A and B are shown apart, each in its own frame.
Chain A
Amino acid sequence: MSLTLSALLIPFWIFLGVFFVFAFFDIWHMLRYGARDIRNFIALFVFLAGSTVILWAAAQHLALVDWSLPLINLPKIGTMPTDGGPMF
């Protein structure tokens, strides 16, 4: 039995969720309380464009990884010693 590399994606997805929540609040603040001028429009555009570029580059690189490779090899339950002797 083995844990595959895809397990590394769990904290990554959790992080992305937190990132989107905070990004939403930032954008909400800017739209609600910020001036509706060209400066803030550019700032918002730069933020969204930058986030998109980082996420796109990440997706491109992570797509090349073979996520089915084993991360940790765990002993099979059936092969565990039952006589009370040492497991490893």
Chain B
Amino acid sequence: MHIKKLISRKPYETKIFQLRRHWLILFKRIISWAFLAAIPYGVYRFLDVNFPEILTHHIGQPALMMGVVMYELAMWLLFFTMFIDYELDLWVVTNDRLISMEQHGLFARTVSELDLWRIQDASSDVRGVFQTLFEYGNVHVQTAGATERFVLEQVPEPFEVRKIILEMAELDREFHKRDDAEIMKIATTA
């Protein structure tokens, strides 16, 4: 991942884990896509049974052929775009920050980050049959501010993720307290 192009890594920073949406999200999209991609075959069968003369007509035949090619190319492009959209949505947890990178379609991208020590609360939710069976859901991360800053969407094992984020936040707070105490100590001795 070209995270370096988006976010500069601090010298003391190490990656704890990174998350993507659950694989089932991509799988569900692929199933829907497969049905859409098969539509021309259904149309062909329909025409073959009901209007076979269109399939041999000197205009109808090439027009249909070009229509099918355009449709299938568009579907193929949609498939790749869908994969990229899934692949480029990423959440990274380091020992210092929570970084969110989200791709919205082809031409929009959001990158945001949050200092772990600022996290006050994190909650996770699993809703519906699929989310319960396949153990995925959302993790909401709350900072000191009134507004909710981060939502890790449709990630696997949200309860475990929430637990780790809270543990990492606590560790980071301890680290910052120690840092602040040392600064105070230096200031008072100087």
B171 at the A/B interface (Cβ < 8 Å)? Answer: no
Given A22-B106, A62-B66: A29 and B84 interface contact (C-beta under 8 Å): yes
A34 touches B87 (CB 8 A): yes
Interface of A is mostly: helix
Which residues does chain B contribute within 8 Å of A65, judged by CB atoms?
61-62, 65
Q: Mark A6-48, 1 if CB is under 8 A from B, else 0.
A: 0011011001100100110110011011110000100100010
B74 touches A19 (CB 8 A): yes
B73 at the A/B interface (Cβ < 8 Å)? Answer: yes
Q: Mark B45-67, 1 if CB is under 8 A from A, else 0.
A: 00000000000001101110110
Q: Mark A44-84, 1 if CB is under 8 A from B, else 0.
A: 00010011001101100110011101010000000000000
Q: Which of B63, B65, B109 contacts A33 (CB 8 A)?
A: B109
Q: Which of A8, A30, A55, A57 contacts B66 (CB 8 A)?
A: A8
Counting chain B CB atoms within 10 Å of each CB, the highest count among A40, A51, A57, A65 belongs to A65
Chain A proximity of B17: nearest CB distance (Å): 15
A15 to B67, CA, bound (A): 10
Q: Mark B78-90, 1 if CB is under 8 A from A, else 0.
A: 0111011001100
Given A30-B87, A50-B76, A71-B59: A62 and B81 interface contact (C-beta under 8 Å): no
> Which residues from chain A sit less than 8 Å from chain B, CB to CB?
5, 8-9, 11-12, 15-16, 19, 22-23, 25-26, 29-30, 32-35, 40, 43, 47, 50-51, 54-55, 57-58, 61-62, 65-67, 69, 71
